[in-house]
Structure 1
Amino acid sequence: MGAQIPETKRRLIAAALELIWRSSYGSVSVDDICKAADVRKGSFYHFFPSKADLAVAAMDHADIELRATYDRIFSPASPPLQRLENLAAFIYDAQKESAEKYGHVCGCPCASLGSEMGAQEPEIRAKFDEQRRHKTRYYQNVIRDLVAEGLLPADADVKAKADELFAYLMGRVMLARIENDLEPLRRDLKNGIFRTLGIAAETTPAA
């Protein structure tokens, strides 16, 4: 979200994303967000009809920022196995950085929103589904390259494997948040990605 966004709206989005990430959607009120953003409540409703609308805008902001990182991680200039290693390293490093900042493992803010409010707020569910499709397209591309290099069978179901990888990563990050423990991510995430995709152990890069 670039410079075209009014400063007040930008502050509301940033405050909502941080507060919801640190705690939860249900525990954060519009008053809390306005206070953190140093914005009057009337200005909030000028930009967002509801807290759910702000949450969707925050999810959109997080997704746009993440895409540049995913473009770099999944660049075809890197071998496919290296891309997966880079993905595991990025997820761990991002979780470590947020844990150091907030004092606990935060998990994925958009996944947390989706799991908490997806059944109650269709806009949030729809935005999470959109983000899932974006991510699995990156996964599908790297899986196709793994097939092309003979690291996966020629008849591999690319879409199914991408969906399985997404589910594995979401589950791992969610468990890290629930258990407030990053060690399993540091220790197991890379090898878990390879196992989920069915890549033979002897072909994976050295630990």
Structure 2
Amino acid sequence: MDTRERLIEATRDLLWDRGYVGTSPRDILARAGVGQGSMYHHFTGKADLAAAALQRNADQMRASGEAVFDAETGVYDRLVAYLTRPRQALKGCRIGRMSEDPDIVADPVLRRPLDETLGWYRERLAELLAEGQASGELRAGFVPRQVAAAVVAVVQGGYVLAKAAQSTEPYDDAVAGAVALLATLREDAR
């Protein structure tokens, strides 16, 4: 891994663990194992490096989401696969967690990957739900955009509940509840 990549990866991890304010340039340099000149050779400063790290998180999240959404299975199975894929519930989402950081939310450049990624998930899930309605796999009569927003809220809110309880149980319960609700959309279509 070259220096630029080590800096981005170190920043990704530190942002996830500590947030933006809790991540100092010194911490980034130490984690990456590079000198100060290296950081400023590749980035204009902490914000520029954080923007690159957040964009990397966003790109990776979308790629992993597409792998699930594009699978050659039924719509319901893809929705369940999205909800039940392995996650580190106690650490939270690499993107969603950043919405708790006031410095990231206040900066349009740093906030952009959050807005775009969470918006992309809502849109992509809405498309998938509409596909299920069109194929008859899911019942008619619900608004795909609203159900998609609820699914994203279950995942992101599940992280918050798990962290608050210091247990994955609330996250697992939220996901199981969402899967059960989605099952009713499928059962009603039969």
Fold match (TM-score > 0.5): yes
Question: Which of 151, 162, 166 is equivalent to 1:180?
Answer: 166
Structure 1 letter corresponding to 2:99: G
Cα distance in 2 for residues equivalent to 1:30 and 1:193: 42
Q: Distance in 2 between matches of 1:112 and 1:38?
A: 25
CA, structure 1 residues 194+21, in 2 after alignment: closer, same or farther (shift >3 Å)? same
The equivalent residue for 1:59 is 54
1:49-87, Cα deviation, whole Å (9 max, x unpaired): 232222221121122222332222112521111112111
1:153 is the counterpart of 2:140 = yes
Higher mean displacement: 22-31 or 142-151: 142-151
Question: Superposition pairs for residues 38-187 of structure 1, below 5 Å?
Answer: 38-75=33-70, 77-90=72-85, 93-95=86-88, 105-116=90-101, 117-148=103-134, 149=136, 151-154=138-141, 156-187=142-173
- Aligned equivalents of 2:152 and 2:80: distance in 1? 15
Quick check: 1:119–1:125 contact (8 Å CA) kept in 2?
yes
Equivalent in the alignment of 1:34: 29
- The residue aligned with 2:176 is 190
Kindly report the root-mean-square deviation, in angstroms, between the aligned alpha carbons of the 2 structures.
2.4
Cα distance in structure 2, aligned partners of 1:51 and 1:193: 40
Give, in angstroms, the shift of residue 107 of structure 1: 0.4
**CA apart distance, 1:193:** 4.8
Specify every segment of 5 or more residues in structure 2 that has no aligned partner in the other structure, as ranges. Answer: none
* Distance (whole Å) between structure 1 residues aligned to residue 185 and residue 122 of structure 2: 23
Per the normalisation by structure 2, the TM-score is 0.85
| C-alpha contact 1:85 1:190 (8 A) present in aligned 2 | no
Report the CA distance shift for 1:118/1:28 in structure 2 as closer, same or farther (over 3 A): closer
1:95 alignment partner AA: Q
Paired residue secondary structure (1:172): helix
1:165 and 1:187, CA in 2 relative to 1: closer, same or farther beyond 3 A?
closer
Structure 1 residues not aligned, in runs of 5+: 1-5, 97-104
Distance in 2, matches of 1:50 and 1:120, equals: 17
Taking the aligned partners of 1:50 and 1:130, their CA distance within structure 2 comes to 23
> 2:138·2:186 contact (CA, 8 Å) conserved in 1?
no
